[in-house]
Amino acid sequence: MRPTEARDFVEARLYDNEDEVIRDGLRHLLRARPEARIQLAVYRYQSEEISLAKAADLAGVSWAQMREILLEKGVSPKLGPETVEEAEKEAEALRNFLANR
């Protein structure tokens, strides 16, 4: 017996496409494994330069808890933009994020 693939869910007409299957599967995985959510948030905070607030939202914890998690993992939290341009980018990203929720 072969392993189940995303294509099987589409062919069974449970989803419209394989991307939907994968997104739904990842959403369920992150709900079932809170530690994975936190690790992913830390990774994205470090590698993608997402804000502390976005990392906290992704991890499912408060801003203060996320800050503590970062400190425990040896990651120095960035405490605000260093330039006006960075502040404008953060404000625009937050507006886009809130508009798409």
Residue pLDDT, tens place only, 36-85: 999 999 999 999 879 999 999 999 999 899 999 999 999 988 776 667 78
Query: What's the pLDDT at 96?
Result: 85
What's the domain range around 13?
A: 6-99
Give the count of domains, the chain: 1
19 within some domain: yes
Q: What is the pTM of this model?
A: 0.66
Give the range among 9-23, 44-58, 80-94 with minimum mean pLDDT: 80-94
89: pLDDT confidence band, cut at 50, 70 and 90? confident
Contact at 8 Å (CB) between 60 and 37? yes
86 within some domain: yes
Query: What's the pLDDT at 80?
Result: 66
Residue 69 burial (10 A CB sphere; 0-12, 13-18, 19+):
buried
1 within some domain: no
Amino acid at site 1: M
